Structure formats: C-alpha cells, structure tokens
Amino acid sequence: VRGLSGGVGWAGRCLLDLLLPHRCLACGEIVGGGLGGGGTGLCPACWAKMGFLTRPWCACCGFPFSTATPEGTLCLRCAERRPPYRSARSVFRYNEESKGMILRFKHGDRTDAAPVFGRWMARAGAEILAEADLILPVPLHRWRLARRRYNQAALLAWEIGKVSHRRVAPDLLRRHRATAPQGSPGTGSRARNVKGAFTLKAGAEEMLFGRQVVLVDDVLASGSTLAECSRLLREGGATAVDVLTLAMVVRD
C-alpha cells in the first residue's frame, strides 16, 4: 500500500485513507481515522500510555515538573548550567511505548508515521516555531544514511515545515563522524564523542546570520549532540537556537 500510495499523489492518498484501514503506530492494531488527515495514528489504549508532556515544565529544556511550578522556572540541571540552545520542547517521554514506535520509524518500515509525528511536534513546538526562520534536522553520517536510506530527523523536519510554513534547510549542518548511538556512554564521554563531529556547510553563515533556528531530532537524551549543533549554529551567526524532538528521556 505504501508503494502504491507513493505513486498516486495527494488525491489518491486521500482516497486510500478513506478506503484502507490503518494500523496503530505503536501496537499495530487496526484503527480508524487514517494517518494523513485528522487521525491520531494511535489506538485509544496506546494514546493513553504515550506519556505526552504537559506543563508545568522547565522553561529551558522542557523537563516536566511533578508539582505546580511558576512559569519560567528552570530544572536543577539548567539552573546549574544553561545549555547552548535557548529552549527545548518534546512531544512525549521516551518510554517503552514511544521507544518501540520511534525505533520502527527509524529502522523499520513505518515512515508513514512522519506526517502524524510532524503534526504532534508542530503543536508541541508552536511557541518556538512562531518565531522561527529556519528548521534544521540533525544530520546523519553519510554511511549511516546509506545504510538506513533516510534521515529520520529530516523526515520530521519536512513535515514540521509543511505544518508551520517555515523554511527547512536540510544540509547546513554536516556530520563528519558517525558517533556512538544515543544513550550508550555517560554524559561526559558523550560530549567528547560529538566534539568536532559536525561542521557547517561552506557559506552557511549567509543563511544563518540573524536567524532564529529550530533544530529537529527524534530523541532528546543527554542533549550533547543537540548542544554541539546549537553551539555551531550560534557561531555561524544564528541569534537563537531552539530544539524540537519527538521524545525526551526524562530522568527522575
């Protein structure tokens, strides 16, 4: 069906949405509503388990607080040391449910999740997108790109760009080293791991100067990759960098 819907264009896809059942992005059960239109993409049971993030949260990194907190409060980590990005927002927690869904999107065959994820991210990041000039995905190293065939962050960035009517610049950042996967080493070694892994494309400063940039990735874990990219973009002339991810690893 995916191959077919890829070839039939928008009108055909809308027709297919009406005719064919869709499978829940998390558990694979058949759900109504379709993925392209207003459908949630999830069955009610998975929707309930997804751990969507809501206020109150850290004004900087979006860490959710469990008790009522005044607007503008920072979490302990951000209060101690502000990251190089201005703020970060995520749609939901990285938990068992969202992890499976993201892995299938990233390594499996559920790229049809991109429009749904894009809509969720545009909603979670509405405030930062309202001010944004450019949307940039965190790049993959070309070897990894060759193996996986697509960059999941770029798919998300395109969808967010469509919903928010913002320009997407997929190639301003370059990745020179394939770094170890998220979450393997501790924060310190992670930071060393990404140091120098990215550069700006020649002439990127022209696009970045005076601009507010939204950096897109699938998961905010230690934040070291996003911090390194943000630092580079600020050096390249961006006035502010905000981060938008699908999921956030919430440590208690």
Q: Residues interacting with Zn ion, by CB under 5 A?
A: 24, 26-27, 29, 43, 46, 58, 60-61, 63, 75, 78
φ, ψ at 91 (rounded to 5°): -80, -50
Round to the nearest angstrom and report the end-to-end CA distance of the chain: 42
Nearest approach, Cβ of residue 236 and Zn ion (Å): 24
Nearest approach, Cβ of residue 49 and Zn ion (Å): 8
Q: How many residues does the chain have?
A: 252
Nearest approach, Cβ of residue 76 and Zn ion (Å): 8
Nearest approach, Cβ of residue 127 and Zn ion (Å): 16
- Measured CA to CA, the distance from residue 115 to residue 34 in angstroms comes to 11
Query: Within a 10 A sphere around the Cβ of 187, how many other Cβ atoms?
Result: 11
Comparing CB distances to Zn ion, the nearer of 94 and 158 is 94
Comparing CB distances to Zn ion, the nearer of 75 and 191 is 75
Nearest approach, Cβ of residue 75 and Zn ion (Å): 3
List CB contacts of 192: < 8 A, sequence separation 6 or more. none
Nearest approach, Cβ of residue 36 and Zn ion (Å): 18
Comparing CB distances to Zn ion, the nearer of 60 and 220 is 60
